[in-house]
A and B are shown apart, each in its own frame.
Chain A
């Protein structure tokens, strides 16, 4: 099936590419992201849009091009339109977050597998990594859990933005985004050493240190504050 484009659209002087959004053709200016192209075409987005800068994972897309069997994935706010893209937005995947008490856990695979038993079903097909718009080694992280290396797994998926594309492609039905959230929290809470200088400063403040000094500053007239500010030394970067 081919979708026709209005005759009036064909004469446009602006350099355009033709995209197919859910099988409907639109000519849009070159250089736009998929998200901006859809808006140009007349869509007011609500689902499938969030931070618009590659951080929130709301705008997962899948697309194909004619003559290429490959199922491609990306973020609508980061991927620039190309001619003949057949695009679908995938703004939600039914992954349902399990609840747990992080304070009663240990950073061990056993605890993780109890909540996410499907991790053991990983068949190392690497579909997850191929789908990842962040370019993360998703499968390696899953496998690291099975080797009980929680810190390595957390480090590998630190840049995850929870778009859920990996989970949509996973034959083992792993709920990656929630699994990875647990791994990062276990690593941050139990495996990274605590900052001692932080503890010391918190105790100092709680014991009342600095309070009088700040009270004093709060009462000072602006001219005096300006002088103090201008004269303060600045630590080199």
Chain B
């Protein structure tokens, strides 16, 4: 890799040399030791005291919809207790713009896997339509760096993977979903290998596998630290090779339902550039819209892509989908705490898999690096809360992630070879992670819960019945990971349930007649909104977050030109 000299590099201010020196001086001793693992009880205690899920005033009880009385984060409640973006009467449903068998909403890994497996299941590519808010591939999938889990080494087994996953999830996971996850996993890796994903391997073809937090065996398969990007681009390439129709910059803003059966029968799209709306009729709709990081729950920065605004949750909830575990979120332990330019971006867990330790201002260890993520995040927050964190140049707090330990443990050059994305991210800011530690603090990372599905990806209502015509896969769904996801299980989730959604859809559309379309499901929802006096200007889905400066917004004139 060339030195990226074109970038302005600020690096650490001189006063930080003293603090970094402490990390350097304690490194040699720390190389020989590690922090002990906590018992389940110790974990619970730490989490209850310091995890953001337990921060007061960040959640409230839902008043509207099928999950009224359930507790969810405030930012999500605001979107669920909100009016549709369009008046149902203003939409002409007599003119169908796209009439398709399978509509896939979303453009990430789950969407691409669903499209391919629908094709393998016998659906013609012309009968599939992918619609996405940004570009095909713009998703959290491409930001997944560390790897994808699959128990494929002789020392390992799917049974272990099952136990690790439910233990990490606080035993709240849906068992049949976890079974699907772990039992399909090796097959998924093999499928990706056959499509041409360049996994890191030895010369003999053996997968190079690492430990992830909360996993009892090394089972993380990776492609440098671009694992999600590599998987996404291969799947996207294959989807496009088949000639599947893709509409970019066309988010779904509402689902459609059959007035006779109540089944989901398509969606309304909004062309983001022209603001023209389109009507899609579909026999089956697959929600693959991803998570909610850009809602900045509890005021946290996020590692998520720009479009992660929970649109799919809102749409599914309006047709009566049950939501699971929306009172919990995953805060990735190691987000960037400084520099400000990349605040909240991810420092992959693979750094810790490779040997980087978490260190407080005194150069002390305070947690085993490979505990589950909610445990490690809570421990970091505790260090900062109790004054053993480092105050960053912008006044926030963080702890050190001692990156140079990786090369010290595994040989010079390891960082540049195994973590090129991390090396670039920091050298662009003037920080060389081969010789300097980095400042880190938890960042909002993953939606643990979501729309409830069964193992064939049918979306369920609170009574456990199918919402006909609607499937879901990936981060938008809940139950797979319980209350906390393990590293490497999200890419796996996308592939396993994206595949299952495609296969299920391919079976449903056979011999099925074209459904009717309506917005009837909104009537009851809007009655409830009226009853609770929800302000008319509160609308959802959000589509995109707004980061415009305060001064500009205070002087903004809404004039059409």
In the complex, the answer to whether B198 meets A187 with C-beta atoms within 8 Å is yes
> Shortest distance in angstroms between A130's beta carbon and chain B's nearest beta carbon?
9
Knowing A36-B341, A193-B204, A222-B171, say if A235 contacts B211 (CB, 8 Å): yes
Given contacts A42-B548, A154-B198, contact A235 B306 (CB under 8 A): no
Closest Cβ neighbor of B336 among chain A residues: A53
Encode contact with A along B145-161: 1 for CB under 8 Å, 0 otherwise: 00000111111011110
Q: Please tell me if the beta carbons of B217 and A235 are within 8 angstroms of each other in the complex.
A: yes
Q: Mark A86-105, 1 if CB is under 8 A from B, else 0.
A: 00000000000101111000
Measured CA separation A101–B125 after assembly (Å): 14
CB contacts under 8 Å to A, within B425-457, are 425, 428-429
Contact between chains at B193 and A50 (CB < 8 Å): no
Q: In the complex, what's the smallest C-beta–C-beta distance from A226 to chain B, in angstroms?
A: 6
Partner of B163, one of A42, A188, A225: A225
Instruction: Report yes or no: B226 in contact with A55, Cβ–Cβ below 8 A.
Output: yes
Q: Which residues of A contact B207 (CB under 8 A)?
A: 195, 197-198
Say yes or no: A74 contacts B226, CB within 8 Å.
no
Tell me which residues across on chain A come within 8 A of B276, comparing CB atoms.
Answer: none
B164 contacts across to A, CB distance below 8 A: 229, 232
* A187–B218 alpha-carbon span in the complex (Å): 25
What is the total number of residues of chain B having a CB less than 8 Å from a CB of chain A? 104
**Contact, CB under 8 Å: B218 / A235:** yes
Q: Is the Cβ of B546 less than 8 Å from the Cβ of A44?
A: yes
B237 CB to nearest chain A CB (Å): 5
Cβ-neighbour of B234 out of A49, A56, A185 (below 8 A): A185
Q: Which residues of A lie under 8 Å from residue B370 when comparing CB positions? A: 237
Inside 8 A of A80's CB, which chain B residues have their CB?
A: 7-8, 10, 341, 428-429
Interface: B1 (CB within 8 A): yes
Known A-B contacts A44-B546, A185-B234; A202 and B190 likewise in contact (beta carbons under 8 Å): yes
* B183 & A214 in contact (Cβ 8 Å cutoff): yes
The distance in angstroms between the C-alpha atoms of A78 and B426, with both chains bound, is: 10
Q: Which residues of A contact B120 (CB under 8 A)?
A: none
- Chain A interface category by residue count: 35 or more
Answer yes or no: B238 CB below 8 A from chain A CBs.
Answer: yes
Known contacts A55-B143, A134-B424; decide if A230 and B39 are in contact (CB<8 Å). yes
CB atoms of B303 and A53 under 8 A apart: yes
| B138 pairs with A225, CB closer than 8 A | no
For the complex, is A111 an interface residue (Cβ under 8 Å from B)? no
A128 within 8 A of B: no
Scan residues 199-222 of chain A and give those whose CB is less than 8 A from a CB of chain B: 199-202, 205-206, 210-211, 213-214, 217-218, 222
Cα separation A214 to B455 with both chains bound (whole Å): 15
Say yes or no: is A32 at the interface (Cβ < 8 Å to chain B). Answer: yes
Checking A42, A79, A189, A229 against B7 with a beta-carbon cut-off of 8 angstroms, the contacting residue is: A79
**Given A102-B238, A235-B217, residue A50 in contact with residue B152 (CB < 8 A):** no
Chain B residues lying within 8 Å of A192, measured Cβ to Cβ, are: 198-199, 201, 205
A197 to B341 CA separation, bound complex (whole angstroms): 43
Q: Is the CB of A195 within 8 A of B162?
A: no
Q: Which one of B142, B237, B346, B548 lies within 8 Å of A44 (CB-CB)? A: B548
Report yes or no: A31 in contact with B159, Cβ–Cβ below 8 A: no
* Contacting pair A32 B341 (CB below 8 A): yes
Q: Which of B197, B243, B428 has the most CB of A within 10 A?
A: B428
Q: Within the complex, what minimum Cβ distance (angstroms) separates A138 from chain B?
A: 11
Residue of B nearest to A226 (CB): B40
Question: A50 contacts which of B134, B179, B238 (Cβ < 8 Å)?
Answer: B134
Interface pick from A117-125, A156-164, A168-176: A156-164
Task: Indicate whether A205 sits within 8 Å of B187 (C-beta atoms), given known contacts A56-B137, A159-B226.
Answer: yes
| Contact mask for chain A residues 58-81; partner B; CB cutoff 8 A; 1 contact, 0 none | 100000000000001010001110
Sample (11) of A-B pairs whose CB atoms are under 8 Å apart: A40-B547, A44-B548, A49-B306, A50-B135, A53-B425, A189-B196, A193-B205, A213-B159, A214-B158, A214-B159, A229-B164
Known: A214-B182, A229-B163. 12 other contacts (CB 8 A): A44-B548, A51-B139, A53-B346, A55-B229, A78-B428, A99-B240, A135-B4, A192-B205, A194-B205, A214-B162, A214-B183, A230-B40
Task: List chain B positions with a Cβ less than 8 A from chain A.
Answer: 1-4, 6-8, 10, 37, 39-40, 134-135, 137-140, 142-143, 150-155, 157-160, 162-164, 166-167, 171, 175-176, 179, 182-183, 186-187, 189-190, 193-199, 201, 203-207, 210-211, 216-218, 223-224, 226, 228-230, 233-234, 237-238, 240-241, 243, 249, 272-273, 303, 305-306, 339-342, 345-346, 353, 355, 370, 420-421, 424-425, 428-429, 544, 546-549, 552-553, 556
